Chains A and B, each alone.
Chain A
Amino acid sequence: MALHFSKYLKQKMGYLGMINLRSWSCCFYQKQPYLSRRFESFKADKQLGSLHNGGDPQVMNFPGGIVKFTPELKFLSDTPEERIHCYRVLDDSGQPVSSNFVQIDKDIAVKMYKDMVTLQTMDTIFYDAQRQGRISFYVTAIGEEAINIGSAAALGMDDLVFPQYREAGVLLWRGFTLQDFANQCFGNKGDNGKGRQMPAHYGSNKHNYITIASTVATQIPHAVGAAYSLKMDGREACTITYFGDGGTSTGDFHAGLNFAAVMEAPVILFCRNNGWAISTPVSDQFRSDGIVVRGQAYGVRSIRVDGNDALAVFTAVHVARKMAISECRPVLIEALTYRAGHHSTSDDSSKYRPIEEIEWWRATQDPVARFRKWLEGQGWWTTPSEIELRDHARREVLHAIQVAETVEKPSLKEIFTDVYDVPPSNLCDQEKSLRKTVERHPQDYPHFLF
């Protein structure tokens, strides 16, 4: 069957199309490859309705497939009787309440915990640094440490990450150092982003983490497009994209989900439903039962998980990744959580939500504390380790900030590089002209060292 099919492909796609034959392998055993399915519906005579239901008056083969008729006049309900259930592994006190989860070994678990603590520490101190005027802006992921680290730990290094802006923990897991984070926030010469962007807009090719853009939800169709490319390449990898509850209202969310399903792209669509889009609560954002139910609307498999449970997040992403890669399909994960910090340093969320609510989530639903309790229950973590880790993380973060503050800013030429692959003549001329101006009036340009 494979041999016959490959001859068919060769005829259809030519030799160069055959190079991507490996990308078809994931489709061979599951269902008819979509190539031949595409050409099926284009025989005009098949559209004659009564002939195509095989004489059965109960069904009709409309464009889109066979549907059964019903004499009942029944509207699908707008709200379900019960909301979709939320998958959780650990309860509030870190005790496993599910036997259905992916086991992780001690090394991974301890690294996960250390990174969650480091992320929490980094966020707290960098936030304060902004308040002190040392950096201009920052976004924290307070309350979403389990989402960040749990999902990152379940991915492979070849999986391409398309973040929104609250996923610094994924980059931390992959090896971005505290100094790297600080350099970007200070926009200094050590910044691999060459001082081009606002703080917290990290990006690193080395870590397969696509540079963050401020535009909301644009990363969703990007992730789908890149997943399509991965599929054509036949790689054992997927893409993952993160977005918030607010991002799901955009046109890009709709187009991305729809395309992912139609193109059968291996992408994990991870929604961090933390209840708030700046000051807009989810009740003003949508009226559906959260985001998980939208999967079915697009023909995308979906699951709802407890975003504050690192093991649940890990398991969901681990399984979703397998599905995405082996079955060439998108998977939607909705992680319910709470944005325990402000939207950003430009926001004071006590203006639109009760402080008691924020405090309750911070105190009783801290994902870091919950995971620690589980670790301690496993015998893999102790109080002395905790003290040492917290102290170490704090010192490292402070040191990174101190160093980043003293490193000089990027040189003048970085204004003009990377606009295009090769600087065009007009930019070269502008750079020459700017250098002349700086030379002529050095007192006006104290920052620029050639």
Chain B
Amino acid sequence: MWGIIRQRAACKGNHALNLEQGIRAIALRAFSSSAKQMTVRDALNSALDEEMSADPKVFIMGEEVGEYQGAYKISKGLLDKYGPDRVVDTPITEAGFAGIGVGAAYYGLRPVIEFMTFNFSMQAIDHIINSAAKSNYMSAGQISVPIVFRGPNGAAAGVGAQHSQCYAAWYGAIPGLKVLAPYSSEDARGLLKAAIRDPDPVVFLENELLYGESFPISDEVLDSSFSLPIGKAKIEREGKDVTITAFSKMVGYALQAADILAKEGINAEVINLRTIRPLDRSTINSSVRKTNRLVTVEEGFPQHGVGAEICATVVEDSFEYLDAPVERIAGADVPMPYAANLERMAVPQVEDIVRAAKRACYRSR
């Protein structure tokens, strides 16, 4: 087992490295020195492996998770290691296996239910909300549901309307659920471990395009006891002129935007939400009280989105501190089109974030 050794130098180095994610990741690896790298896929796989090893009650269930090694290879190697008792391939019925998982959780097991994408979770949403989220309350604490629903969420590339929706806002509205949205490998490992150990039902929103991305990772993160606190956002980049909140893939875009803004003299603070519910209102508000300007970024539909909730919470708690209206950047209010040029217009791009930040700083229309 790894010891818990804090490598402060590596952490600081990570800060600088985090700024250059995305398309520059490959070039970066050629130049990075001592920090280890890990893909988000490996981070999730190792987290599942370690939690299953530590607690025999944890098991995985979903379509293609076993023999196929996982539709996105997140559960690779786990069937061989733990057997079909604990890595269960299911027939095609999200409603069915979500219900089965909830039943197993009622009895005391700790299921990790995989949806091939969260679009398919709509088939099972009654079980997620009415059977899982509300059960502890409705049973007055007699039935706890320590279940994790995980899978890719939001837009991928060229998969069209029925495979591209973001569910952060829908699940984020439900009392009784915890909703997590990791960005980096450290987020993925720490939050998945926290989710599996949590006694409440957790919706864990991953991102297909981030699975293959590599992030630097410290020894502390690699330790099997590592976990991140649920409900705590991370300040990825400190700044003083404008706050940009984002989650999942948009964190990378926000960091790129912050780089561009820095060249123009705007020092942006980027907050990686990490948790959608419970939202880390105090970190967001402290940041806005410092910068006085806010841009929220998300991939999902704009109406009733995560940005709307963040805007409301800032207006409620930090109204006097705002020097400009809150800017919301979200996906287009249309079902996701397929053609590459149309798709590009339907999701936020780095330029959109840059322009919004400038508007918030009164630097452009």
A residues lining the B interface (CB < 8 Å): 9, 12-14, 16-17, 19-20, 23, 34-35, 38, 42, 160, 162, 191-194, 196-197, 201, 203-205, 210-211, 213, 215, 218, 220-230, 232, 239, 251-252, 254-256, 258-259, 262-263, 414, 417-421, 424-426
Contacts and interface: CB of A to CB of B under 8 A. Distances in A.
Identify the interface centre among A19, A418, A421: most chain B CB within 10 Å of its CB. A418
Nearest to A235: B107
Contacts of A213: 130-131, 135, 138
A222 B82 contact: no
B142 A204 contact: yes
Contacts of A252: 95-96, 99
B265 interface: no
B278 A419 contact: no
B67 interface: yes
Contacts of B83: 9, 12-14, 17, 35
The 7 A-B pairs of least Cβ separation, nearest first, read: A255-B96, A225-B103, A221-B99, A222-B103, A13-B83, A225-B100, A211-B139
A203 B96 contact: no
A255 B83 CA distance: 23
Given A251-B95, A254-B93, A419-B175, A226 B104 contact: yes
Contacts of A211: 135, 138-140, 142-143
A88 to B, nearest CB: 32
Contact of B107 (A17, A192, A230, A425): A230
Contacts of A425: 231, 278
A229 B104 contact: yes
Contacts of A232: 85, 109
A137 B72 CA distance: 49
Contacts of B62: none
B131 A215 contact: yes
A20 B138 CA distance: 32
B328 interface: no
B136 interface: yes
B319 interface: no
A224 B100 contact: yes
A350 B248 CA distance: 57
Contacts of B106: 210, 222, 225-226
A421 B139 contact: no
Contacts of B289: none
Nearest to B130: A215
B102 A225 contact: yes
A239 B104 CA distance: 11
A35 B93 contact: no
Contacts of B130: 213, 215, 218
Interface string B118-140: 00000000110011000111111
B281 interface: yes
Contacts of B91: 255, 258-259, 262
Nearest to B281: A426
Given A418-B140, A419-B176, 15 more contacts: A14-B82, A16-B56, A17-B82, A34-B84, A192-B140, A223-B103, A225-B106, A226-B104, A229-B109, A258-B91, A259-B97, A262-B91, A418-B139, A421-B144, A426-B278
A421 B107 contact: no
A212 to B, nearest CB: 9
B90 interface: yes
B176 A420 contact: yes
Given A196-B137, A258-B91, A222 B131 contact: yes
B193 interface: no
Contacts of A205: 142-143
A240 B32 CA distance: 59
B140 A229 contact: no
B141 A417 contact: yes
Contacts of A16: 53, 56, 82
B302 interface: no
Contacts of A421: 136, 144, 198-200
15 contacts: A9-B83, A35-B84, A196-B137, A196-B140, A210-B139, A221-B98, A225-B103, A225-B106, A226-B104, A239-B103, A418-B136, A418-B139, A418-B141, A419-B136, A424-B278
Given A42-B67, A211-B135, A211-B139, A222 B102 contact: yes
A255 B200 contact: no
B80 interface: yes
Given A218-B127, A222-B103, A210 B143 contact: yes
A36 to B, nearest CB: 10
- Looking at chain A's contact residues, the main secondary structure is helix
Most B C-beta atoms less than 10 A away, residue of A222, A254, A262 = A222
Contact of A19 (B56, B99, B131, B178): B56
B84 A38 contact: yes
A251 B91 CA distance: 13
Interface in B46-60: 53, 56
A65 B276 CA distance: 48
A200 to B, nearest CB: 13
Nearest to A426: B278
B86 interface: yes
A17 B84 CA distance: 10
Interface string B271-298: 0000000100100000000000000000
A23 B100 CA distance: 18
Contacts of A262: 91
B281 A255 contact: no
A259 B85 contact: no
Contacts of A220: 99
A124 B53 CA distance: 54
A73 B355 CA distance: 70
Contact of A258 (B53, B93, B136, B143): B93
Interface string B304-332: 00000000000000000000000000000
B132 to A, nearest CB: 10
B22 interface: no
Contacts of B139: 193, 196, 203, 210-211, 418
Contacts of A192: 140, 142
Given A229-B109, A254-B93, A203 B104 contact: no
B6 interface: no
A220 B102 CA distance: 11
B81 A420 contact: no
B154 interface: no
A383 to B, nearest CB: 42
Contact of B99 (A42, A210, A222): A222
B160 interface: no
B99 A420 contact: no
Among B80, B93, B142, B231, max chain A CB count under 10 A is at: B142
A16 B98 CA distance: 25
Point out which of B80, B93, B126 has the most chain A C-beta atoms below 10 A from its C-beta: B93
B108 interface: yes
Contact of B131 (A218, A263, A419, A424): A218
A425 B106 CA distance: 26
Contacts of B136: 418-421
Contacts of B81: 13-14
Contacts of B348: none
